[in-house]
Structures are given as structure tokens and as C-alpha cells.
Chains A and B, each alone.
Chain A
Amino acid sequence: GAVVSQHPSWVICKSGTSVKIECRSLDFQATTMFWYRQFPKQSLMLMATSNEGSKATYEQGVEKDKFLINHASLTLSTLTVTSAHPEDSSFYICSAREGGPSTDTQYFGPGTRLTVL
């Protein structure tokens, strides 16, 4: 199956700093990637849809100026958490769709655990 990687897998930062998370599709091109956040024992919450070469589409309640998304190429999307605060501590997961009439599957990266002190 298709492989999606994320980097870093975990990060600890001080309150007020910014953190960048990378999501890469390793063996396929993804015109669209998705960013999710998951708090402990809760379901995935979609944050935004990242489209290659255009602006991301954010879900209601997600601050676009705080969570900056850049989809610079067909294999890379980045999420930058700006001025992070302890309440931003969460598990951030990206996914990419490998399209096609017989596949059409959304594959997830391994996730990035962010802890803001």
C-alpha cells in the first residue's frame, strides 16, 4: 500500500514558539492532503484540507492564522503551529488520498505528538 510519512514523530516545545510538521507521500502523488488532530480517547477531528498549489480549506473553528498549512508540492504538505500554547498539545495526523476508481483510499501518516510546556 501507499506510504505516508510524518516528521517529527514527537516534539516538545515551549509556549509561544512555533512548530512545523511535515507530511510526505512517499510513493505516490497527492494533490490533496488532510490534517487531523486527535485528543486522548477522542476521535479524529479534521482541521483542514490541503490542496497543492492553492490555499488550504479550514474547518469551522480552526484558526487559519494559527495553523498555517503549505502544500508546496505533490508529495509534501506542512502544518505550522504558530505561537503554540499548552492547549495545542495533541496528536496531529496527516493523510493523503491515493485516488483511482478501484482504490480511492486515504492513507494516514504515523502522526506527530506535540507537547507544549
Chain B
Amino acid sequence: GQNIDQPTEMTATEGAIVQINCTYQTSGFNGLFWYQQHAGEAPTFLSYNVLDGLEEKGRFSSFLSRSKGYSYLLLKELQMKDSASYLCAVRDLSGNTPLVFGKGTRLSVIA
């Protein structure tokens, strides 16, 4: 079966650092994605990991451990505009297959 777990909600303070974890159990693995989704809008692509390690992109970083079926998204220097849902998604097969999405983590950034 396929299962992707991430926390439902998180709250963090403006300027701080927050880590959003994602664990997955899928029949195969061909890449892990993080998306940001503001309320009422479509998801936007943040990062893609297919090999173990950390990928850094400005204030956002994503980490993957394939052996542990684990990833996290790290957001630094939080801004109010970072308040959104963050979706972890896994491609379990190669080719043109859809992503398997987690339920998303709703992040609230407070002053």
C-alpha cells in the first residue's frame, strides 16, 4: 500500500526556523516533492529530492533519507507569507505516473 504521513498543523514565530517532517511507505520510490499551497490556490513546486541528502534553495531546504522513508522541509527566517499548507508527495513509479500526496501540513506563522 501507499502511506504518507505529515503533521496536520504547526505554528511558528516570524523569523524563526521550522521543520516539517514527512514519512512515507510506498511500493516503490522515484522521487519526493514538496509543494506549498496557499488557501484557495493551486500548489506550487518547492523542491524535488531523489537522492539522499539535503537540497537547499534560499530559505527553503529539503532533506531525504530513502532508507528511513523520511523527508523534511526546513523553512528559515519565517515570514508571515509562509503561512500555507505544505504538501509532501511521492512518485512511487517511474514514467508518467501521478504523485501520491500526503494530507498536508497547515503552517501558521505568528508575529
Query: How far, in whole Å, are A110 and B41 apart by their CA atoms in the complex?
Result: 6
Chain A residues touching B, range: 20 to 34
Given contact pairs A34-B98, A43-B101, A44-B101, A106 touches B33 in the complex (Cβ within 8 A): yes
CB distance from B28 to the nearest CB of A (A): 14
Interface residues as binary, B11-52 with A (CB distance below 8 Å gives 1, 0 otherwise): 000000000000000000001010100001111110010100
From A34, A103, A108, contact of B44 by CB (8 A): A108
Q: CB distance B96 to A1 under 8 Å?
A: no
CB distance from B7 to the nearest CB of A (A): 13
Residue numbers in B under 8 Å from A42 (CB-CB) = 103
Closest residue to A32 on the B side, CB-wise? B96
Q: CB distance A46 to B98 under 8 Å?
A: yes
Does B107 sit at the interface, judged by CB under 8 A? no
CB distance from B6 to the nearest CB of A (A): 10
Does A49 sit at the interface, judged by CB under 8 A? yes
Does A16 sit at the interface, judged by CB under 8 A? no
Q: CB distance A1 to B41 under 8 Å?
A: no
Chain A contacts with B in 47-70, Cβ cutoff 8 A: 49, 51
CB distance from A105 to the nearest CB of B (A): 6
Given contact pairs A43-B87, A43-B104, A105 touches B98 in the complex (Cβ within 8 A): no
**Counting chain B CB atoms within 10 Å of each CB, which of A1, A42, A104, A110 scores highest?**
A104
Besides A46-B98, A99-B96, 5 more A-B contacts (Cβ < 8 Å) are A31-B96, A32-B96, A43-B101, A44-B87, A111-B41
Sorted from nearest, which 5 A-B pairs have the closest CB atoms? A32-B96, A111-B42, A108-B42, A43-B103, A34-B98
